Structure 1
Amino acid sequence: MAALEKPVLKDEVVMTKALVRTAERLDFRQSDLGRMLGLSGASVSRMVHGQYELNNHRPEWDTALTLIRLYRSLSSILGGQEDLIRRWMHTPNTDLGGVPADIIRRGAAGLFTVGLYLDGIRGRI
């Protein structure tokens, strides 16, 4: 009897699903995600419903990867506790000069700023 083969998922499918889950866990709305990625609301809606995949040759890919890395950094710092992760995202941070979620919502520059901050903290642990 032949072993069942698992289907191989494309990188674009995996990244898109990971991004959608990450945005949900961080309490970002579809409009927030669209602003961060530079995508229309319709494209983000299709992405959430599995009808649009991120393109690994466009800037949206790097931005999505950064958001996922940010979440993973924060999760490792806070022991994967979802309630603490959400609280951190929505609490003013004096080092960052604002609420991390608001800084991230401003666009890619804010996302990269918060990501670098978390990388620095994680490096000290």
Structure 2
Amino acid sequence: MATLATKPQRSDGQVLSSAIAKIADFWGFSNPKLGQVLGLSPATVSRLKGGKTLLDPASKSFEAGQFLLRLFRGLDALMGSDDLASRRWLETPNLDLDARPLDLIDSFKGLITVCDYVDAHRARV
């Protein structure tokens, strides 16, 4: 009887850290910008992107990363997987939010506000 080879399970920290690094690349976030969003230093972000450190599931940075992933997925659905359109949406002043979403996501409260806004618009589609 043959046994199936199984892949080792990746931890939540590995999965989210990898996803956040990819989002930062898609959206062109610098290490300082991503650090601001996650509440990490640019050096820590550099190690995160290089796979040398992971987000700790018990940390506020992990929670911010989850919201950033939620925002990415929401915009991806709204923009039809067009990363450039998502980036332009983030950079454009939004009258409803009274700011550029890109600026708002630098704070945890702003990140949640932008996520809620995108989720509300997804619900209408």
For normalisation by structure 1, the TM-score amounts to 0.91
User: Does 2:121 match 1:121?
Assistant: yes
Q: Aligned residue for 1:93?
A: 94
Q: Aligned residue for 1:78?
A: 79
CA drift at 1:27: 2.0
Q: Aligned residue for 2:4?
A: 3
Equivalences for residues 1-125 of structure 1 within 5 A: 1-105=2-106, 107-125=107-125
Percent identical pairs in the alignment equals: 35
CA drift at 1:116: 0.8
CA offsets per residue over residues 24-79 of structure 1, 9 Å max, x none? 22222110111122212221111111010000011111100000000100110111
Distance 2:60 2:50 in 1: 21
Distance 2:90 2:57 in 1: 27
4+ residue segments displaced more than 4 Å: none
Describe the SS at the equivalent of 1:23. helix
Distance 1:32 1:81 in 2: 21
Distance 2:40 2:24 in 1: 14
CA drift at 1:17: 0.2
Distance 1:26 1:122 in 2: 20
Structure 2: runs of 5 or more not aligned = none
Distance 2:38 2:46 in 1: 13
Q: Aligned in 2, Cα 1:83/1:40: closer, same or farther, shift over 3 Å?
A: closer
CA drift at 1:4: 2.6
Report which stretch shifted further, 23-32 or 10-19.
23-32
Q: How many residues align?
A: 124
